[in-house]
A and B are shown apart, each in its own frame.
Chain A
Amino acid sequence: MGTANHGVFSLPPPIDISLENLAEFPEGRRVLTCIQCGTCAGTCPYGELMQYPPRRIIGMLRAGELEKVFTSDSLLNCVACYACTAKCPRGIDLTGVLLPLVKEQVLLRLPEMPAELQRALENKLRYGNPMGESPRKRAAWVKTAGVPVRILHEDPRPVDVLWFVECYSSYYPRGQQCARATAKVFHALGVDFAILGNEEKCAGECGRLSWERGLYNTLMEYNMLVLGKYQFKLIVTSCPHAYDAFRYRYTALRFNYDLRHTIPFLTQYLDRLKPRLRRKVSYKVTYHDSCCLGRHSSVYEEPRMLLQAIPGGKLVEMTHNRVNTICCGGGGGGMWLDTYYKAKGYERLSERRVKEAVATGADVLAVACPYEISRFEDALKVLGYEKKMIVRDIVELLAEAMEV
C-alpha cells in the first residue's frame, strides 16, 4: 500500500467541479485513472450494502451510464468517512470529489427526501443549526460556563483565539458540557479567546454538506462575512466537521485564517498542561479516531499524547485505529439518516464501533468530535453496555484531571 494516501490532500477540490466538467480538472481526470481494483468497496463500511459502490460508479461513469446510478438510493449510505479515498492506490479523492457530486444527483431524484434529513437541512438554512433551535439561544450555555467567555459582538476587541464552538457543543446538553469543559481548560491555560456567540452559524459540515451545495454556499458566505468583522490570530474549533469545512472548502472564498482543531491546539500547551493534570485516574481509555480529523487530516498522535498525559490513565487501541478507523456513522448526512438506515434494517455504524471499543476492556471511550458523543452513548444504551463504558470528549477528561 505504498502509494496509498494517508489522508492529506494538499489542495481542496475545486468548487466548480461537476459531473459534466470532471475531465477539465486534474482531480476529475484522476478519477478516470481508476484501475477497478475494488479496494474502495472493500474498505467502505457500508460497501456490501451498496448497489453501486465507488468502483462500480466509476465503471458506469466510463460507460456513460451514470443515470442508472442516480436512480438507486444506495449512495445515501455513504457517510463521507474518507475510507475509500485513504485506501485508493490511484490516489483518487472519491469522498472529496466524485461521491458528493453523484450523491447530489441521487438526492435530487429521490421520490421523497428522508424526513429527518430534510428537517436538518431546512433547519440549518433557517436557524443555522440542524436541531431547529433558536439562533438567539446559541450562546446560552455561556451563562453556566463557570468562567468568563467573551462574545465578540458584545466586546469586539482583537483576540488571539476565535473559538468556533459549532452546533452540537452549543445546543446539545452533552455537547454543552464539552463546551463548558473547553472554556474552563482555555481559561486555566491563560488562552485569550472569544466566541462569535449568536452570530455563529453551522460551518456547513464536511464534504459539501451532505450534497446540498446551495445550502453550503449560503452558510459559507454568511460565516465568512461574520469572521471578516473581527480581528483574531487563529481559529480553533471543537468540531472536526467545521475544521474540515474551513480547511478544504472555505478556501474557495479565500479563507486563509490560521486554523486548528481544539485537540492539536491543546497539544501545543502540553508543557503547561502536564503539571496541572493533578488528579490521578485509574481508568483504561480507548480513543476513536474521527474521520474528518484523523483520516482526512492525519491528526492521529495529538489526541493520544493528551490522553497519555493524564496521570494513571491507560490507553488501549481498538483493532481499527488511525487510518483504519470505522466511522461513527454521522458523516455525510448520516447523522440525520439513522431512521432511514434503521428502516432498511442496516446495522448502525456507531453500534459496530462501540462493540469494538467494549472488546478492548476500556472503561472510557474518548472522542474528539461532538457528533460522536450522542452516537456512541446511544449505541452503548442500545447494546446494553452503558454500565461498562462511558463516552467522554478528550477535553472533558483533561478538565476533570485538571480539576477545573
Chain B
Amino acid sequence: MKIIVLLKMVPDVVEELELAADGKALDTEFLRMIANEFDNHALEEALLLKEKYSGTVTVVALDAPEVDDALFTALAKGADQALKITDGDGTLGTRAGAYRLAQTLSSVPGLLPADLILTGAQAIDDLDGLTAPLVSHLLGLPQLAIVTKISVDTTAGVATVLREFPGGVRGEYEVKLPAVLGIQAAEKPPRYVPVAKVRAAMKSQAIQSVPAATAADGGVGLLPVEEMSKPEVTEHAQMLKGSPEEIANQLCEILAARGLL
C-alpha cells in the first residue's frame, strides 16, 4: 500500500503570539514553528497502516522554519521518503497551501497514484479543516474527514473508516481507494522516536526538495488578511466572599438581577 502524508508547520504556542506591526500577521521575530499535531496523528496512522498491510509512507510538507527537523523525525519514525516543497514562504493559508500540495502531488513523477493521502483533520493556525477536502477536490478523489480509525481491504481496494461527530456519535464509512482522509486522531498516540535515530536519519537519509509547481494561489483565490487581532479582554471577575450560605445568596441575587433565574 502506498500512503502519502501531508504535513504542515504551525506556530508553536509555547511562545506568546504577538502581532506584526502591520496588524495583518503574526510577528515572526520569536515565533517558532512546530509540526501540526493532527498531521502527526496522520503520520502515526500511516505508519500503523504500513506495519499492518506493508507498503510505503511518503511525507510531503510545505517549506517552513524547522520543517527539516519534522521531516527527519518522520523518517526516523519509519517514513520511507520525505519531500519538501520549496519556494513557499511558510505563511500560505489553507486554500493556497492545499492548491500547492495538490499541484506538487500531480507534477512530481512517481508520487501518484497513491492508495491513501492522509492529513490532519485541521490545524491550529486557522482551524479551517479544509486541506483534505480541497486536495481531494483538486485531485478528483473521494474524501472523508474527522477520521479516527482506518482498516483496508487491499484486494477490493476499499477502506472502512470510523468518523467522529459531535455528541459522541461515530459513523462507519466505506470509501473506494484512492482516497483523501482527514485524520482527527490515530489509533495510538504518536510514537516516541529516540533522538539517536533522528540524528542517524539526518546523517544517512535525505529530504528531497521539489520546487512549487505554480504560483501560490493557482487561481483558486487567496484570501487576503485584512486584520488580525488578539481576542478582546473583557473586564469583571467578581470574587464573592463570605460563608457558603452568604455566597450562595449573593450568587442567587446576581443571577436574578440579570434575569437568569
Contacts and interface: CB of A to CB of B under 8 A. Distances in A.
Interface of A: 108, 112-113, 115, 118, 121-122, 125-127, 132-134, 136, 212-215, 217-218
Contacts of A213: 194-196
A214 B199 contact: yes
Nearest to B69: A126
Contact of B14 (A108, A113, A133, A212): A133
Contacts of B14: 127, 132-134
A115 B189 contact: yes
B194 A108 contact: yes
Interface of B: 14-16, 30, 34, 188-189, 191-192, 194-199
A118 B191 CA distance: 9
A121 B192 contact: yes
B83 to A, nearest CB: 23
Interface of A is mostly: helix
A167 B189 CA distance: 26
A295 B188 CA distance: 40
Contacts of B194: 108, 212-215
Ordered nearest first, which 3 A-B pairs have the shortest CB separation?
A214-B196, A214-B195, A215-B195
28 contacts: A108-B194, A112-B188, A112-B189, A112-B191, A113-B191, A113-B192, A115-B189, A118-B189, A121-B192, A125-B195, A132-B14, A133-B14, A134-B14, A134-B15, A134-B16, A136-B30, A212-B194, A212-B195, A213-B195, A213-B196, A214-B195, A214-B197, A214-B199, A217-B195, A217-B196, A217-B199, A218-B195, A218-B199
B15 A118 contact: no
Given A132-B14, A136-B30, 4 more contacts: A134-B15, A213-B195, A214-B199, A218-B195
Nearest to B16: A134
B37 to A, nearest CB: 12
Contact of A214 (B16, B30, B198): B198
Contacts, number: 39
Contacts of B195: 125, 212-215, 217-218
A222 to B, nearest CB: 12
A122 B70 CA distance: 12
A122 B15 contact: no
A132 B14 CA distance: 7
Nearest to A104: B194
Contacts of A118: 189, 192
A134 B188 CA distance: 27
Contacts of A133: 14
Contacts of B199: 214, 217-218
A136 B15 contact: yes
Nearest to B34: A126
Contacts of A212: 194-195
Contacts of A215: 194-195
A62 to B, nearest CB: 27
Contacts of B196: 213-214, 217
Q: Which of B192, B196, B198 has the most CB of A within 10 A?
A: B192
B200 to A, nearest CB: 8
A132 B196 CA distance: 20
Contacts of B189: 112, 115, 118
B15 to A, nearest CB: 5
A131 B172 CA distance: 38
Nearest to A124: B195
A126 B194 CA distance: 13
A103 to B, nearest CB: 12
A179 B134 CA distance: 52
Contacts of B198: 214
A126 B189 CA distance: 19
B234 to A, nearest CB: 26
A44 B16 CA distance: 44
A203 B29 CA distance: 27
Nearest to B194: A214
